[in-house]
């Protein structure tokens, strides 16, 4: 069956396209930039289409004859919802590589529409949020009565693609996010620090507004969720200034300047950097009686993991008869999905 890689000319999209070609897969390469899509299509000898996401009719026409879309064109805050709605209208399965809480929540709200259309909506099939989502489900299975879930990751490489950097810019000056009592709650950036051993020694960490604050709840039903990332003392202090400068950081002038700078200067990590680095993922579940379970896994570097995870997710949906509707990656493909991917290993069983 024909499937489409939309945003194929972007940093991560191109990595996925080249990996797909090397594995003998033949996705339709698509995007908004006609010149870039044509060049990549010619290089990889794969079919292509060009269409924007501004018109629902144009998207539906672009999806004609396609059974699944792997959407890689960020920032997903503006591109995901139009593509999801078009996929539902065209009865096309939808996957993406977002990590944005708002996108997951939008997909969840479209659950009934997706079920009626017989369509699967599964955002977040990259590093955001496959490994953490799988760890969340492992912990739920190990401690079914868990009431508190903490997740986090540590990575040796900090390089970002243009799309990731633009998403980071959009988040500047905004509040953090946690889940409490099953509800999403704003939380000031820089509060709630703790020390965590993600898998390579204990480090200072602080809560971040990561996608699992949304998805882990739908995967596990655990009502209280926080996601952590390691920080230096200096970075933590800077983060606490976020609210002070929030109006300035959110202003159109600063946002546009930072996005323009990103477009010109950010390129994403090269192959050598991706191969030389890895990630550690940690999770901790606690029940009302104080019983606790902890899991740590190691994975490929974030972009490398996104490539193999996204392709494996697309293959899973195309090869299996899955029930339609909104899904999280672990709920759709199982808690052990992360361990089937190259470079992933369980550092400890739940303990």
CATH number at residue 72: 3.40.50.720
Indicate whether 8 and 26 sit together in one domain.
yes
Q: Judge if the upstream peptide bond of residue 224 is cis by omega within 30 degrees of 0.
A: no
User: Residue 116 has which token pair?
Assistant: 């009626």
In a domain, 342, yes or no: no
Tokens (6 digits) for 315: 């293959």
Q: Looking at the chain, list the stretches that DSSP marks H as alpha helix, in order from N- to C-terminal side.
A: 11-22, 34-44, 56-62, 76-90, 101-109, 111-117, 130-142, 162-171, 212-220, 233-240, 246-250, 252-265, 271-276, 302-319, 329-333
Same domain as 145, residue 11: no
Backbone angles phi, psi at 211, to 5 degrees: -55, -30
Angle at 71 between CA 68 and CA 77, to 5 degrees: 135
Shared-domain flag, residues 210 and 86: no
Residue 156 shares a structural domain with residue 294: yes
In a domain, 43, yes or no: yes
Contact 300, 343 (CB under 8 A): yes
Residue 216's region, left for phi above 0, alpha for psi from -120 to 50, else beta, is alpha
247: in domain: yes
For residue 348, tell me if it sits in a domain: no
Q: What are phi and psi of 59, to 5 degrees?
A: -65, -45
Three state DSSP letters for 286-323 = EECCCCEEEEEEEEECHHHHHHHHHHHHHHHHHHCCCC
Q: For residue 275, what pLDDT is reported?
A: 87
Q: Kindly provide the b/e burial profile for residues 267-306, where b requires at least 16 CB atoms within 10 angstroms of the residue's own CB.
A: ebbeeebbeebbbbbbbbbbeeeeeebbbbbbbbbbbbbb
Domain count, the chain: 2
Report CA-CA distances (Å) from 156 to 97, 278, 282, 301: 21, 6, 15, 8
Same domain, 217 and 318: no
In a domain, 317, yes or no: yes
Q: Which residues contact 314 (CB under 8 A, 6 or more apart)?
A: 3, 68, 70, 95, 125
The pLDDT value given to residue 155: 83
Tell me the average confidence (pLDDT) per consecutive run of 10 residues in the chain, 351 residues long. 93 97 97 97 98 94 97 93 97 97 97 98 96 98 98 76 51 73 88 90 90 98 95 61 55 61 65 88 97 97 96 97 97 98 91 73
Does residue 69 belong to any structural domain of this protein?
Answer: yes
Contact 297, 322 (CB under 8 A): no
Residues 316 and 233 in one domain: no
Residues 136 and 260 in one domain: yes
Please check whether residue 120 lies inside any domain of the structure.
Answer: yes
Q: State which residues form the domain around 193.
A: 130-302
Task: Give the C-alpha separation, 24 to 350, whole Å.
Answer: 37
330: left (phi over 0), alpha (psi -120 to 50) or beta: alpha
- Whether residues 204 and 281 share a domain: the answer is yes
Angstrom CA distances, 343 to 25, 121, 296, 297, 321, stand at 21, 27, 14, 10, 27
Are residues 219 and 281 located together in one domain of the fold?
yes
Q: Are residues 59 and 147 in the same domain?
A: no
The CATH number for 287's domain is 3.30.360.10
CA dihedral sign of residues 259, 204, 150, 156: positive
3-class secondary structure, 95:
strand
DSSP state of 126: B
**Same domain as 77, residue 106:** yes
Shared-domain flag, residues 163 and 231: yes
């Amino acid at each position: 069956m024909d499937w489409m890689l939309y945003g194929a000319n972007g940093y991560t999209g191109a990595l996925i396209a080249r990996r797909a070609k090397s594995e003998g897969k033949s996705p339709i390469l698509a995007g908004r930039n006609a010149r870039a899509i044509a060049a990549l299509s010619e290089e990889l000898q794969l079919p292509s289409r060009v269409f924007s996401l501004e018109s629902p009719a144009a998207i539906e026409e672009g999806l004609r004859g396609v059974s699944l879309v792997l959407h890689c064109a960020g920032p997903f805050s503006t591109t995901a919802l139009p593509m999801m709605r078009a996929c539902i209208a065209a009865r096309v399965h939808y996957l993406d590589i977002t990590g944005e809480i708002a996108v997951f929540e939008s997909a969840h709200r479209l659950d009934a529409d997706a079920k009626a259309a017989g369509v699967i909506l599964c955002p977040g099939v990259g590093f955001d949020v496959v490994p953490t989502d799988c760890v969340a489900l492992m912990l739920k299975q190990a401690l079914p009565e868990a009431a508190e879930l903490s997740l986090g990751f540590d990575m040796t490489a900090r390089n970002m693609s243009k799309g990731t950097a633009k998403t980071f810019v959009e988040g500047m000056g905004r509040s953090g996010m946690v889940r409490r009592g099953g509800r999403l709650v704003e939380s000031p950036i820089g509060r709630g620090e703790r020390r965590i051993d993600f898998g390579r020694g204990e480090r200072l960490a602080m809560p971040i507004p990561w996608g699992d604050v949304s998805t882990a709840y739908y995967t596990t039903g655990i009502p209280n969720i926080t996601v952590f990332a390691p920080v230096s003392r200096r970075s933590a202090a800077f983060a606490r200034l976020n609210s002070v400068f929030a109006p300035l950081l959110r202003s159109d002038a600063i946002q546009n300047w930072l996005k323009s700078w990103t477009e010109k200067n950010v390129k994403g990590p090269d192959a050598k950097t991706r191969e030389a680095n890895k990630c550690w993922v940690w999770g901790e579940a606690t029940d009302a009686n104080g019983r606790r379970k902890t899991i740590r896994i190691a994975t490929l570097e974030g972009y490398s993991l996104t490539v193999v995870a996204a392709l494996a997710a697309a293959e899973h949906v195309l090869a299996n008869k899955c029930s339609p509707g909104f899904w999280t990656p672990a709920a759709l493909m199982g808690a052990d999905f992360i361990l089937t991917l190259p470079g992933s290993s369980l550092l400890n069983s739940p303990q």
